[in-house]
Structure 1
Amino acid sequence: MTNIDDLVASLPEGVVVTEPDAMEKYRFDWSRDQSAGTPLAVVRAEDAGQVQTAVRWAAEHGIGIVPRGAGSGLSGGSSAVDGCLVVSLERMRAVQIDPASQVAVAEPGAFNADVKRAAAEHDLWYPPDPSSFEICSIGGNVATNAGGLCCVKYGVTTDYVLGLDVVLADGTLVELGGKRIKDVAGLPLLKLFVGSEGTLGIVTRVILRLVPRQGARSTLVASFATVRQAADAVVAIRAVLRPSMLELMDRATVNAVEDYKPMGLDRTAGALLIAQSDAPAAARSAEMAAMESACAGQGAEVFVTDDPDEGELFVQARRSGFPALERRGSLLLEDVGAPVPLLPDLLDAIAEIAERHGVEIPVVAHAGDGNTHPNIVYDATDPDSERRARLAFDHVMSAAIALGGTITGEHGVGRAKRAALPEQLGPDVMALNRRVKDALDPQGILNPGAAL
C-alpha cells in the first residue's frame, strides 16, 4: 500500500482522512452504486492550494483522483474506486456577490441554494434550478452541466459560467474567463471543463452570471387521462412559446408523492403537467391562455393560479418526486432526452420497455426540454428483479438514442451510463473525446472510470 505519510504531513491537521469509518460516507454518491470502491484516503481541501498539493502527490504516485462535491450526483460520477484519493471540496463554500458586475464568485462546495440566497440579497437571481438545489454543490453543477426546472426558458449551468479556476492533472492552477460578459480570446477552454465530470481538472472557483430577480409567476396544473396526451400538449405548447417551467409527472410518480407527502394531487390522472409563466403581466396572461388551450385540446382538466404560495406547493410536489420514489424500492436513475417533438414517442418507448421487462418505470420530466427521468424500481434482494431492471435501463438509453436523443440531459454519464456512451457518440467522436482526455490527463488519474 502506498505510504501517505508525506501527504498527511504536507497538509494541515484534519485535512487528510484515512480512518475507514470516516471514509465510508465518501464512497457513494446518491446513485448508491454498490460497486463503489474504498479510497486510500480522503482530502477535505480548504483552498485551491491544498487541492494542488493533493493532485501533485497523486500524480507523483500514479494514484487515481475522484473529485467530490456534495455527493448528490445521480450517475455514480463521484463514487469512489478502490485505492483512489477522494478530493472533497465540501469545505470550500464561500460565496461573494459583485452586484455591479452582476456575478457571483463561488467556491465549488457552495450549494446552489447558497448562491441563490446570496444573489437574492441584491435583487439578483441564479436561474439553474436542479430539484436538489438545496443540497447540490456548484462544483457538481459545473461538473455535470446541471439543469433543472427553469431551464426550458433560462438555460443550463454552462449558460451562466463566466469563469473557472481549475487544477489540472499535474497540479497546475489555471484561471479561465472572468467577470467579462464577452471574451473570445483564445480557444473556448472554459466550456470544455463545464460538463467534463472531473475528468479534465478539478474546479476550485466559479464565476457565475446573475440576472435580475425573477418576476411574478402564474401556475397552471393540467390533469390528463394519459401520458401521451400530456406529452402531445407539451409539443403544442413548445411550438408557440417558451414557458418558464413545464414539468411532467406520471400517475405512478403522483401516487408516490401522495404517499410520501400528501398534497391533494389527482391520484387518478394518467399524468400531470405543472407549468409556469413569469412574463410581464399582459404577456403572462396570453401565455397562460395559450397553455390552457393546448392542454384542453388534449382533454385535460386545467387549474390556474396567480397565488405564488399556491403555485409553489405544486412545484414542491414535483421536486418531491425522486425522494418519494426512493421509498418504493431500489432505483436505477435514468436521464434520457429527445428532441421536444419526439417526447411522446420517447415516453411511449419507455412504457413499452417497462411492460416488456415486467418492471415499474415511473417518469418525471423536464418536459419542455424533452428531458425525462425514468426511474426504474426493482427489488435489490431479488436477482431476477435486478437483472430485468438493468436490461430495461440499457434499453431505455437505446430508445432515446434511436430517436436522436441522449443518454443524459443533465445528470452526467458518470459510471452508471459509461457503457452506453459509444452507442450515442460513435467511434470518431469517442476517439476525439479520448484525445482531449489524454492531452490534459496523460496518466489517466482524474476520475478514472467515469464519463469516458
Structure 2
Amino acid sequence: MDDLLERLRAGLPAEALITDPDVTASYAHDMASFCDAGAPAVVVLPRTVEQVQHVMRTATALRVPVVPQGARTGLSGAANASDGCIVLSLVKMDRILEINPVDRIAVVEPGVINAVLSRAVNEHGLYYPPDPSSWEMCTIGGNIGTASGGLCCVKYGVTAEYVLGLEVVLADGRLLTTGRRTAKGVAGYDLTRLFVGSEGSLGIVVRAVLALKPQPPQQLVLAAEFPSATAACDAVCRIMERGHTPSLLELMDRTTVRAVNTMSHMGLPDSTEALLLAAFDTPDPTADLAAVAELCTTAGATEVVPAADAAESELLLQARRMSLTALEAVKSATMIDDVCVPRSRLGAMIEGTAAIAQKYDLTIGVCAHAGDGNTHPVVCFDHTDADESRRARESFDEIMALGLELGGTITGEHGVGVLKKEWLARELGEVSVEMHRGIKAAFDPLGLLNPGKVF
C-alpha cells in the first residue's frame, strides 16, 4: 500500500488521491442490487490523459487491479470496486473540447454529463440523441462503457451509433487512438465499436469523437390508455408495421403508472392497465399523431389524448422519466432488469413478467422502450426480509430466462457487470465466450482492468 501510494503521488497532484476509508467506501459500488463490492485501496480522480497513463503504468508495475468509474449510475455492478483496487474515477475529466457544426461532431472527455453535452450542442442547432433516463447525472464515458440507450432509440439509435472515434489508455499505459472524425471510414478493424459496451474491461476511454445530428423540430406526444398490456403491445406492432418512425414509443404498465402517481400526483389514469406514449418530431407531428391515434384505437385503446403543445408533451415525458425512481420508492430495494426482445414478442414478455410476479408474490412494475422491445421489469422487495430477497433474485433470473426464450437478450443497454455475467455464457455460447476471453487477453494480458466483470 505504501509503495502504491508513493508511486501514484509521483505523477499526480495531492488532490487527485483519496485514501480516507470512509470516503473511498462511497466509491465502492454503483446503483445495482445483489452485486458484491470490495474495498478500494485508493480512489484516483485524474484531470489529464497523462495522469491516467501514470495510474495505469503504476498499476501494471505493481499488478494492482483498476476499476474505472463514471457517475456510478449504472445498474449492473460494472463500476463496483474489488478489494485492494485503484478506483479510477473519471468525473473530473469533464471538458467539452470541441463542437464542430460543419463536421457535426463533438469531442469530449469521459466525465462530461450527458445533459450538459446535449444542451451545449443545442446552442449550435445540433442534437446528441442518446438520452438515458439518468441523463442529468450519467457521463458520456459511462454511456460508452455500457453502450447505453434511452427514450429516443426507436428513431435515433443507441450510443454505439454516435461514437466515431476514441482515445483509450491501455492497461500498460499506452495511448491508443481508434476510429475517425470523418462521416465514413473503414480502415482496419472497428476497434471503436469493440470498446463501446466493454464496461472498462479493455481500456480507459479518455476522449471521444461523437457524431451529432441537426436539431429536430419540437416533438409532440400522445398518450393512449389500454385495458391490457397485450392491447398496448398490439398497438406498438401496428405502428411499426405501418412504417411510422416515432421519436419515442414508451410503455408503462399499471404498477408503474400507479407508482408515478403516488410520487408525483400527476393525475395519470389509475384505472389504466397500460399507458403508451408516442412522440413525433417531424415537420407535421399533428398528422403523424392522428394516424397513430387511429391505430391505437383500433388496437383497443380506451382513450387517446394528444398533447396540445410542448409543455404538455414534456409533462408526459417527465412521467416516463421518473418511472424507475417511482418504483424504487415502492419498497426498500429494487432489481432493475433490462431484457430486450423482438418487438413482435413484447406482449409475451410483459404477460410473462406479470405471471412471474404473481408466482413469487412480488410487485414487479414494467416500463419499456416499446419501440425497440427493450423492457425494464423492476422487482420491488424488502431487502431486510431474507425470504422476499430470495424470491426477488429468483424472479429476476426467471425474467432473464423468459427473455432468452422469446429470442431476446439479457441486456439491451444496462450492460452485464457483475449482475448478469452468469447469464452471459448462456446467451453467447461456448465459442463466443472463448473469443471474448481471447480479446480480453490481447488488450489486458494481466487481467487488471475491471476484474470479475462481464465474464
Question: Per the alignment, do residues 404 and 34 of structure 1 end up closer, same or farther by CA in structure 2, a change over 3 Å counting?
Answer: closer
Q: Deviations over 1:310-366 (max 9, x none)?
A: 000000100001111111120011000101111111111111111112211100000
The equivalent of 2:436 in structure 1 is: 433
The equivalent of 1:248 in structure 2 is: 251
The Cα of 1:262 is off from its aligned counterpart by: 1.3
Aligned match of 1:185 in 184, 187, 198?
A: 187
The Cα of 1:101 is off from its aligned counterpart by: 1.4
Find the aligned partners of 1:102 and 1:239 in 2 and give their Cα distance. 32
The equivalent of 1:397 in structure 2 is: 400
The equivalent of 1:67 in structure 2 is: 68
Find the aligned partners of 1:447 and 1:2 in 2 and give their Cα distance. 22
The equivalent of 1:224 in structure 2 is: 226
Q: Deviations over 1:165-220 (max 9, x none)?
A: 00111111111123211111111111110111101111000111111112132211
The equivalent of 2:337 in structure 1 is: 334
The equivalent of 2:377 in structure 1 is: 374
The equivalent of 1:17 in structure 2 is: 18
Are 1:33 and 1:79, in contact at CA under 8 Å, matched by a contact in 2?
Answer: no
The equivalent of 2:49 in structure 1 is: 48
Find the aligned partners of 1:33 and 1:54 in 2 and give their Cα distance. 30
Find the aligned partners of 1:252 and 1:14 in 2 and give their Cα distance. 46
Q: Does 1:287 align with 2:308?
A: no
The equivalent of 1:3 in structure 2 is: 3
The Cα of 1:29 is off from its aligned counterpart by: 0.8
**SS of 1:14 mapped into structure 2:** helix
Find the aligned partners of 2:164 and 2:36 in 1 and give their Cα distance. 36
The Cα of 1:266 is off from its aligned counterpart by: 0.5
Q: Does 1:138 align with 2:168?
A: no
**SS of 2:379 mapped into structure 1:** strand
Find the aligned partners of 1:34 and 1:178 in 2 and give their Cα distance. 36
**SS of 1:385 mapped into structure 2:** helix
Runs of 4+ in 1 over 6 A off after TM superposition: none
The equivalent of 2:31 in structure 1 is: 30
The equivalent of 1:125 in structure 2 is: 127
**SS of 1:136 mapped into structure 2:** coil
Aligned length: 450
Give 1:89's aligned amino acid: L
The Cα of 1:33 is off from its aligned counterpart by: 4.7
The Cα of 1:259 is off from its aligned counterpart by: 1.0
Give 1:139's aligned amino acid: G
**SS of 1:56 mapped into structure 2:** helix
Q: Deviations over 1:137-175 (max 9, x none)?
A: 000000011110001000001111111100111111111
Question: Per the alignment, do residues 30 and 257 of structure 1 end up closer, same or farther by CA in structure 2, a change over 3 Å counting?
Answer: same
The equivalent of 2:89 in structure 1 is: 88
Give 1:389's aligned amino acid: A
Are 1:217 and 1:306, in contact at CA under 8 Å, matched by a contact in 2?
Answer: no
Are 2:35 and 2:77, in contact at CA under 8 Å, matched by a contact in 1?
Answer: no
CA RMSD of aligned residues (A): 1.2
Find the aligned partners of 2:62 and 2:360 in 1 and give their Cα distance. 46
Aligned match of 1:99 in 98, 101, 114?
A: 101
**SS of 2:15 mapped into structure 1:** coil
Find the aligned partners of 1:289 and 1:99 in 2 and give their Cα distance. 34
Q: Deviations over 1:383-411 (max 9, x none)?
A: 00000100011111111011110000001
Give 2:378's aligned amino acid: N
The equivalent of 2:178 in structure 1 is: 176
Find the aligned partners of 1:129 and 1:175 in 2 and give their Cα distance. 26
Q: Does 1:260 align with 2:258?
A: no
The Cα of 1:34 is off from its aligned counterpart by: 5.8
The Cα of 1:306 is off from its aligned counterpart by: 4.0
Give 2:230's aligned amino acid: R
The Cα of 1:2 is off from its aligned counterpart by: 6.2
The equivalent of 1:410 in structure 2 is: 413
Q: Deviations over 1:232-261 (max 9, x none)?
A: 111111112221100001111111111111
Give 2:145's aligned amino acid: A
Give 2:414's aligned amino acid: H
Unpaired stretches in structure 2, ≥5 consecutive residues: none
The Cα of 1:286 is off from its aligned counterpart by: 3.9
Find the aligned partners of 1:262 and 1:199 in 2 and give their Cα distance. 42
Give 1:383's aligned amino acid: A
Find the aligned partners of 2:308 and 2:95 in 1 and give their Cα distance. 36
Find the aligned partners of 2:334 and 2:444 in 1 and give their Cα distance. 33
The equivalent of 2:111 in structure 1 is: 109
Aligned match of 2:346 in 332, 343, 347?
A: 343
The equivalent of 2:390 in structure 1 is: 387
Find the aligned partners of 2:240 and 2:308 in 1 and give their Cα distance. 21
**SS of 2:368 mapped into structure 1:** strand
**SS of 1:332 mapped into structure 2:** strand
Unpaired stretches in structure 1, ≥5 consecutive residues: none
Give 2:317's aligned amino acid: V
Are 2:216 and 2:282, in contact at CA under 8 Å, matched by a contact in 1?
Answer: no
**SS of 2:198 mapped into structure 1:** coil
The equivalent of 1:210 in structure 2 is: 212
Are 1:246 and 1:274, in contact at CA under 8 Å, matched by a contact in 2?
Answer: yes
**SS of 2:207 mapped into structure 1:** strand
Find the aligned partners of 2:271 and 2:2 in 1 and give their Cα distance. 59
Q: Does 1:154 align with 2:156?
A: yes
Find the aligned partners of 1:80 and 1:18 in 2 and give their Cα distance. 14
Normalised by the length of structure 2, the TM-score is 0.97
Find the aligned partners of 2:354 and 2:431 in 1 and give their Cα distance. 32
**SS of 2:393 mapped into structure 1:** helix
